C-alpha cells in the first residue's frame, strides 16, 4: 500500500479551505499550519500564467526527516505515511531543517508536527479533511498500489509533476498540470 495525493492546479482556486479544514480537524494551533497554498505568477501583463498549489508534507518515500531523527519519533506508518510520535519527540528540530519542503513546524506543546494525511480519518474509511472539504474537488487521494484508486486513475490520465524531485526524497504529492 502506498498512499498518495494528486492535486489539480487547473481547478484549484487558492481558496485555502484545505488549510482551514485541516486547522479545525486537527486542532492545529492558531498561527501554525500543516498545509498551505502557494501562488506563482509568471509573465508580464497581459501575457500571464498562474499556478496555484495546495502544499503539505509530501510523505516522501525516501525521507530525510525520518533518517535524521535521533529518537525514532519520526517514522513510516501504514501506506508510507510519515508520522511523528509526540511523546518520543524531543523537539530538537533536526527534521525541520532536513525537510526540503518546510513541511514541519514546532508545535507550541513541545513536539514537531506536520500533515498526517489525516490517518485517523483514513482508518475510518474517510478521506483526509482537506480532500473532503475542497470546494473545487481538485484533490484526489488514494492508494497508488491500487490501479483503480482515484489517485492512480487521475495520474494515468493527466500530466503531473512533483516538487523538488532533484532532492531525491521521492515525494508522494502529485500536482496535475
Contacting positions for another protein (CB under 8 A): 10-11, 13-17, 19-21, 23-25, 27-33, 35-50, 52, 96, 102, 105, 108, 120, 132-138
Q: Least distance (Å) from ligand SF4 to the CB of residue 132? A: 10
Q: Which does 63 bind (CB under 5 to 8 A by kind): ligand SF4, another protein, none?
A: ligand SF4
Residue nearer to ligand SF4 on the CB measure, 63 or 152: 63
| Angle, alpha carbons 28-163-114 (nearest 5°) | 20
- Residue 152: all three cell numbers together: 492512480
The span from the CA of 177 to the CA of 175, in Å, is 6
Provide the 10 A C-beta neighbour count for residue 70: 10
Cα–Cα distance, 150 to 65 (Å, whole number): 28
Residues at the contact surface with ligand SF4, assessed by CB under 6 A: 7, 12-18, 37, 54, 57-60, 63-65, 82, 99, 101, 103-104, 114, 134, 136, 138-139, 169
Partner in contact with 38, chosen from ligand SF4, another protein, none, beta carbon below 5 to 8 Å by kind: another protein
Q: Which residue do the cell numbers 472539504 mark?
A: 133
The number of angstroms, rounded, from the C-alpha of 154 to the middle of its chain's C-alpha atoms is 17
Amino acid at each position: 500500500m502506498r498512499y498518495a495525493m494528486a492535486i489539480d492546479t487547473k481547478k484549484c482556486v487558492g481558496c485555502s479551505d484545505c488549510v482551514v479544514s485541516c486547522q479545525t480537524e486537527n486542532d492545529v494551533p492558531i498561527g501554525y499550519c500543516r498545509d498551505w497554498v502557494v501562488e506563482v505568477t509568471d509573465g508580464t501583463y497581459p501575457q500571464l500564467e498562474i499556478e496555484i498549489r495546495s502544499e503539505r508534507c509530501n510523505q516522501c518515500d525516501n525521507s530525510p526527516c525520518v533518517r535524521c531523527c535521533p529518537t525514532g519519533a519520526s517514522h513510516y506508518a501504514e501506506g508510507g505515511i510519515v508520522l511523528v510520535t509526540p511523546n518520543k519527540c524531543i523537539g530538537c528540530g533536526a527534521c525541520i531543517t532536513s525537510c526540503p519542503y518546510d513541511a514541519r513546524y514546532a508545535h507550541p506543546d513541545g513536539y514537531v508536527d506536520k500533515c498526517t494525511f489525516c490517518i485517523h480519518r483514513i482508518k475510518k474509511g474517510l478521506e483526509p479533511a482537506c480532500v473532503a472539504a475542497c470546494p473545487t474537488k481538485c484533490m484526489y487521494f488514494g492508494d497508488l498500489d491500487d490501479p483503480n484508486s482515484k489517485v492512480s486513475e487521475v495520474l494515468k490520465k493527466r500530466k503531473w509533476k512533483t516538487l523538488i524531485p532533484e532532492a531525491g526524497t521521492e515525494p508522494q504529492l502529485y500536482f496535475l498540470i
